[in-house]
Structure 1
Amino acid sequence: MARTPRYDAPGLWHHVYNRGIARRPIFETVRDKRAFLAALAWQVRRGTLEVHAFSILATHYHLLIRSPDGSLSAAMQWVQTSYSRYFNRRRKRDGALVRGRFGSKLVEGGTYRRNLVRYIDNNVVVAGIGDDPCNYPFGSAWHYARSRGAPWLERSWVESDQMRRDELEAFSPKRYRERACAGIPDSVRESIERRVRGRRHERGTEESLDRPAGRVVERLRRSANIADGGTAWLPLTSLPALVAEVDRVSASAASGDELLRGSLLVGLGRQLVGATQLELATRLDISISTCRRLASVFGERLTTDLAYSALVESVVRTLQADWE
């Protein structure tokens, strides 16, 4: 099977990740984690990578990085190969250590990028290592919670984003710790994980997270046909969160509209959750053909029914708020 091509051009942001083969530990000691970070730092010094956030756990790692010269693939291949050789040499073993080439997802849009940093920080908590990501020395949260940290960690975007959002004149490590300890909403975490598991991505869709709900609905109108079996939009939320919000707006809408709830769940489930038709049909206990019909209803009503569009905008506005 042909490999999915990477978007690898100068200055693009990427969420990079990988885990051990057969889910085995790939970082068994403190020295192992330092060796991997040293390999990353080497590429930073060469000018091939910028590391903006990271979390190195026993079985896997997550990175938010950019490649100034568009050499992400070559740089990360060198990092993984170099580390694997170190690991095998110290343990007198051979064979694969990680699950093939690293995974990467293009990161576009400041809101998604901001929440990806929160997701990477929160990996420590999900793994059960501790409740405060800023106390874990092999994650970038440890560095951002202090005025100074590793010289190879590129802090400019994270710090400027905090200063802009909080209207501060200087970066506040204390404020960063507070936000890191606050965790991340389940819907945000689940949508990022769904995207990591998925294979397809439509470039530019992450920018929707930075747009007002009304403009998102306009885009939904223009791409309503996507709801019926095409490539899914960027996951914005989880399916349980979408169901809860659609149930809320459906209950407050006019009674007797039997297609309202189903069409909203199918249409928005495809475009804002990235769920497959099979997942939606199973969740709603309906057939695939009924799922397709509801998708068509969603597209038609979104472009012709102002009251229906207002309900869609209400759902999008609430789900977007989870990302702020």
Structure 2
Amino acid sequence: MPRQARVIVPGFPHHIVQRGHNRQPVFVERRDYVYYLGNLREWKQVYELEVFSYCLMTNHVHLVVQANDNVTAIPQLMKRLAGRQTRFVNALEKRSGSLWEGRYKISPIDTDAYLLACCRYVELNPVKAGMVEKAKAYEWSSYSARVGLLASDWLDESDSFRALAVDQQARIEAYRQFVEQHNGSPADVMIQEAINSNKLTGGQKFVDDIETRIGIRVEARKPGRPTTQK
């Protein structure tokens, strides 16, 4: 079966996953996580990208990044992040070779229907993996910054998040409930299938609209039904 081509759609958020080579650990020491996030902060500003969500697991990374009009910006971001982390770890461990799988996976997201669900999916990874009981207990995701438990001057807010309520505290509470009341969602199935195959995270109308917009046929899937985002 041919490998599904990666698609980047200007103006839409994208779910990105990059795994360690042979699924080996990428982050071992605290310094590894800190270094990656420092580079994410630096290079997302260089390429004028917005980061809505992230989670650094031991052997892979989840990012939700808004694409701009420069379709090379996200690939360049991922190249910089992977290259710097590889050189950093190799120098410390006196080793050589690849730290990452050759290709990251990416899925454009239907903003209105699935963006918040995708951010929740990303931030609940450590909970689903049994590493922590609550998302707020995991230090290396965007959740604590999103709900105001940790200061961040570079994590961006999406229009979908701002639409949750009229003021910031109410938005935070709405999002906190949205994440904490999660007990399995049909949206998660679509999100996982989409990112695993570089497909679009959205229903059939979204697929049709994007195909028309970019002039590339994307294999059709059955439309999903997202959970309420409020």
TMscore range, shorter length: 0.7 to 0.9
Q: CA deviation at 1:114?
A: 1.6
The alpha-carbon distance between structure 1 residues 202 and 138, as it changes in their structure 2 partners (threshold 3 A), is: closer
> What is the distance in 1 between the residues matched to 2:123 and 2:57?
11
Alignment of 1:267-278 (within 5 A): 271-272=222-223
2:105 to 84, 88, 103: 103
In the alignment, structure 1 residue 197 sits paired with structure 2 residue 196? yes
Hey, what does 1:179 align to over in structure 2? 178
Does the 8 A contact of 1:134 with 1:177 survive in 2?
A: no
1:154 to 149, 156, 160: 156
In the alignment, structure 1 residue 170 sits paired with structure 2 residue 168? yes
Q: Which has the higher helix share?
A: 1
Deviations 1:30-60 (A, max 9, x none): 1101111111111122143211001111011
Alignment of 1:16-31 (within 5 A): 16-31=16-31
The alpha-carbon distance between structure 1 residues 62 and 50, as it changes in their structure 2 partners (threshold 3 A), is: same
For the residue of structure 2 that corresponds to 1:104, the secondary structure is: strand
2:140 to 134, 138, 144: 138
Hey, what does 1:114 align to over in structure 2? 116
What letter is aligned with 1:33? Y
Q: Which runs of 5+ in 2 are unaligned?
A: 208-217
Larger Rg: 1
Does the 8 A contact of 2:107 with 2:198 survive in 1?
A: no
> What is the distance in 2 between the residues matched to 1:158 and 1:200?
21
What letter is aligned with 2:225? Q
Q: CA deviation at 1:206?
A: 6.3
The alpha-carbon distance between structure 1 residues 9 and 187, as it changes in their structure 2 partners (threshold 3 A), is: closer
> What is the distance in 1 between the residues matched to 2:29 and 2:156?
25
> What is the distance in 2 between the residues matched to 1:207 and 1:171?
31
The alpha-carbon distance between structure 1 residues 138 and 83, as it changes in their structure 2 partners (threshold 3 A), is: same
Q: Which runs of 5+ in 1 are unaligned?
A: 209-229, 234-270, 273-318
Hey, what does 1:36 align to over in structure 2? 36
2:94 to 71, 92, 97: 92
Identity across the alignment (%): 23
> What is the distance in 2 between the residues matched to 1:100 and 1:191?
24
Deviations 1:260-301 (A, max 9, x none): xxxxxxxxxxx24xxxxxxxxxxxxxxxxxxxxxxxxxxxxx
Q: CA deviation at 1:17?
A: 0.6
Q: CA deviation at 1:207?
A: 3.7
4+ runs deviating over 4 angstroms: 1-5, 199-204
Q: CA deviation at 1:22?
A: 1.5
The alpha-carbon distance between structure 1 residues 150 and 98, as it changes in their structure 2 partners (threshold 3 A), is: same
What letter is aligned with 1:95? G
TM-score scaled by length of structure 1: 0.59
> What is the distance in 2 between the residues matched to 1:321 and 1:50?
23
Q: CA deviation at 1:75?
A: 1.6
Deviations 1:169-212 (A, max 9, x none): 3343344333222225243222211222225559983648xxxx
In the alignment, structure 1 residue 75 sits paired with structure 2 residue 77? yes
Deviations 1:74-94 (A, max 9, x none): 121111111111111111111
Counting matched residue pairs gives 216
> What is the distance in 1 between the residues matched to 2:129 and 2:156?
25
> What is the distance in 2 between the residues matched to 1:206 and 1:29?
44
> What is the distance in 2 between the residues matched to 1:57 and 1:89?
21
> What is the distance in 2 between the residues matched to 1:83 and 1:101?
15
CA RMSD of aligned residues (A): 2.8
